[in-house]
Structure 1
């Protein structure tokens, strides 16, 4: 007989594995933050003439994260049985990642790669970028993202078996907390501590021309951190933790005075059909079977269309604020404030989406209380495991609406008041937190439905579809903003004035040395289109389909 436990709580015997997953996902978030955020930001802020075409070329470095499903069956099927199915990949991949990070950091410090970015820290140059090779940067950071994506495949699969079934939904919490910490370390926190303006404004009495941390120094530190985590995995972890914990004996409290054995259940993805999972052909065949499942096809379609509604707000709102004069140091502060909210409230979000039986709707008390509220029921329907995802969708729509208002209300004189700064913080917190709510909700659902026999491949497929759903609309959104924008170019010392519908503003500023005046900002039109499409999709299709998917039996998601 199993002792009574508060539903949805993290089991004490799973705490070491939970903290290990956080550290693994944190390590994964370091290259993600650098490639997705820091390097493009530095390219554009330190060299204004950097074209968006160059930034588009560098964005190719992030492609391995969306293409990892191609080699995930190899990661799932090839391994050393003595080391373990997941540790066989995590250990060498993290060692190589740490080495690449350290070498790349050393090259940046010496000015061999990304020349000029660390000049102020080494008393050389004038703090501007020199002849930066975008192709070299793309290759190096693409390699880092490739290694990061490979590690993600193995860690996603390990999360399905390293935690007991009663704590399995907390794998998404570990992923959210770890990735957010790693991403914030490499993007927001790093940019703040790398900025001389931020350091001089908030910490220094005597201003200096550099910040606290250089890019090369941070990358060398990250490489050492990778190696330390890997050494811990080698000497302090096992592939199957239940060897240490099963069975456990509780004090006698039965009628005959005998002690009770507590059975701790784990998914057996590493032992079921072991002779088959070692075959790459078998894994790829199962991969095709997964794609043929009607439930998976429906979920994939939802992933492909659901994030379109938020793309204008999440891709362009901060850029519009910076364009209008909002300082990057102040913008970094707004994101820094977000970090504790992500960590603290992420824990409670996963409890919200947890249930003793993964495919059963939430508790009767919650279901009855929600059903009595007609407004809540109209918005998200009956309570279930994907209820947080539905609330997160609506919250991100609200953040998109507020985003247009924040940009529109930017002070024309450029002086940022305390009330406006708080408004920017609130808008960012709302969008970021609701994004986390959706991420945890859908990640917990992925963990519930994924077949443990195909753990890494199945999880990687679902997560890749989710990631790609937020990637493919970006080019369309940015093009629409440009298409709907009308600006006026005034050429100095002449009477010539050009009005352009769309097109590049760089032609005015760089070729004609003119000044640009925006007559119609395409950001507002594009954001309105995204919000309208989002509302139509949500109430016309998404809510109904999500409620259906969360009610399906576990057999609807299995192919083995």
Structure 2
């Protein structure tokens, strides 16, 4: 109750940020739905590895983030100068490519994978660019006492958008109420309506009045007078942040911390589809556990805001156990039959076990995500360079997630791992050594071996005094 009371003065800002983060989650969820549709049409892990590249713009946005943090139309404000045009472009792009996307899926997997990867890569690029603006905006829209809740708002908004575009679309598509093309038209309309609302509504303008503190206004004026010099200064600030010893330590942590979960994150649902479980069944399971992803950030938000690294460490070992349990659940699932039907002998108990396992895994993943975002918001809360700082930390986090996911998919589909496969294992093997098991066991072992190192780095980050995270002299710049 106290958390809700604390956020009440920032209610309008919170609602605006939830809307923007929700829309960012839509292309992510739609990309996941397309991945399922490709799998249903016979895509292998190598092709899924190619399609997984669509989310890489979130790991590369640091390259153009200083442009977003510097260039603006003074009348519109630093953040709205980007958010409104980007949402408009995304909406138009969805309208323009709706029929094309639908036709690609009808043309077969081989013909669809690379064009769909290119299309959704562009969509994610536009959303990643908006993410830079929204993350920076959150640091100035929220009051100082509530800036630690930025991670909670991010998690809630993106989860809602992901759920609507993934589970919602798959349910509508299965019921033959919508195709991919018609759903993209609907999403495009939502982006255009949102862009118009953010641009002209009195409520949005009232919230935006808090956007730029005095230091940021001076910065915007300097950017308008000498844009190239201001842009060079932004990249210099980014390099100054990257040189901070605590940031380099954090980068190492973010590169290593997801190795143990990589295979479970990227392969479990695809392996279930490969063994005959329909995408509708998986969408139903996702619908059942999505409320956990929405409620958990609110529940753990106060805890992660106070002790983010304690919360993160608390969730690590249980999440590793859930990753191991996922392997045994897949082992209990037989391969699809000769008629390509979903296994019929699976009981309700099995599906309940799957929902419990995935629900726990989602809850633990959410705890770690919100903890990281709370810490990022705290150390990057400087109003002048906070946007660049937040973008750098988020980019490093996304990179740590995406390289492990893409690597797991690539290895599961690679010839090297296939050669290790044993279709008919000897009696001493308790499970077939096929690519799914090989990659999962490898990730689990690496996660256990790396755990002391990861925990040691996390404690070092936790014990670093807050002034060590600051760029000296940043607040004195004009």
TM interval, short-chain normalised: 0.7 to 0.9
Q: Secondary structure of the residue that 1:326 maps to in structure 2? A: coil
Cα distance in 2 for residues equivalent to 1:272 and 1:553? 29
Partner of 1:527: 440
Residue deviations 1:462-521, cap 9 Å, x none? 1111111111123443455434742449xxxxxxxxx9xxxxxxxxxxxxxxxxxx9533
The reply on whether 1:427 has 2:357 as its aligned counterpart is yes
Aligned counterpart in structure 2 of residue 150 of structure 1, from 129, 132, 146: 129
> Which stretch shifts more, 480-489 or 212-221?
480-489
Partner of 1:39: 34
- 1:179-194 equivalent positions in 2, closer than 5 A: 179-194=158-173
Residues 45 and 410 in structure 2, CA contact (< 8 A), matched pair in contact too: no
RMSD over aligned CA atoms reads 2.8
Partner of 1:212: 177
Residue deviations 1:330-385, cap 9 Å, x none? 22211111111111222011111124xxxxxxxxxxxxxxxxxxxxxxxxxxxx33
Q: CA deviation at 1:389?
A: 1.4
Partner of 1:477: 408
Q: 1:58 to 1:233 in 2, by over 3 A?
A: same
Partner of 1:406: 329
Q: 1:387 to 1:527 in 2, by over 3 A?
A: same
The reply on whether 1:542 has 2:454 as its aligned counterpart is yes
Partner of 2:144: 165
- 1:140-539 equivalent positions in 2, closer than 5 A: 140-195=119-174, 199=175, 211-236=176-201, 237=203, 241=207, 270-271=216-217, 279-355=230-306, 384-410=307-333, 414-450=344-380, 451-478=382-409, 480-481=411-412, 482-483=417-418, 485-488=420-423, 519-538=432-451
Gaps of at least 5 residues in structure 1 are 117-127, 200-210, 245-264, 356-383, 490-498, 500-517
Q: Secondary structure of the residue that 2:216 maps to in structure 1? A: coil
Q: 1:332 to 1:55 in 2, by over 3 A?
A: same
The higher radius of gyration belongs to 1
Residue deviations 1:50-94, cap 9 Å, x none? 455444443333332221110000000111122101011101111
Residue deviations 1:295-340, cap 9 Å, x none? 0001000000010000111122222222333332222211111111
Residue deviations 1:237-295, cap 9 Å, x none? 45774858xxxxxxxxxxxxxxxxxxxx9976624755666601111001111111000
Q: 1:91 to 1:536 in 2, by over 3 A?
A: same
Q: 1:386 to 1:139 in 2, by over 3 A?
A: same
Partner of 1:88: 81
Q: Secondary structure of the residue that 1:290 maps to in structure 2? A: helix
Residues 446 and 459 in structure 1, CA contact (< 8 A), matched pair in contact too: yes
Cα distance in 1 for residues equivalent to 2:319 and 2:419? 23
Q: 1:479 to 1:144 in 2, by over 3 A?
A: closer
Aligned counterpart in structure 1 of residue 60 of structure 2, from 56, 67, 76: 67
Aligned counterpart in structure 1 of residue 17 of structure 2, from 18, 21, 39: 21
Partner of 2:428: none
Aligned counterpart in structure 2 of residue 12 of structure 1, from 1, 5, 8: 8
Count of residue correspondences: 449
Residues 309 and 533 in structure 1, CA contact (< 8 A), matched pair in contact too: yes
Larger helix proportion, structure 1 or 2? 2
Cα distance in 2 for residues equivalent to 1:417 and 1:456? 50
Residue deviations 1:7-30, cap 9 Å, x none? 785331201110110110111111
Residues 48 and 409 in structure 2, CA contact (< 8 A), matched pair in contact too: no
Gaps of at least 5 residues in structure 2 are 336-342, 426-430
Cα distance in 2 for residues equivalent to 1:397 and 1:329? 27
Cα distance in 2 for residues equivalent to 1:268 and 1:389? 36
Cα distance in 2 for residues equivalent to 1:135 and 1:69? 25
> Which stretch shifts more, 286-295 or 228-237?
228-237
Cα distance in 2 for residues equivalent to 1:529 and 1:115? 33
TM-score normalised by the chain length of structure 1: 0.74
Q: 1:480 to 1:147 in 2, by over 3 A?
A: closer
Aligned counterpart in structure 2 of residue 553 of structure 1, from 465, 469, 472: 465
Q: Secondary structure of the residue that 1:471 maps to in structure 2? A: helix
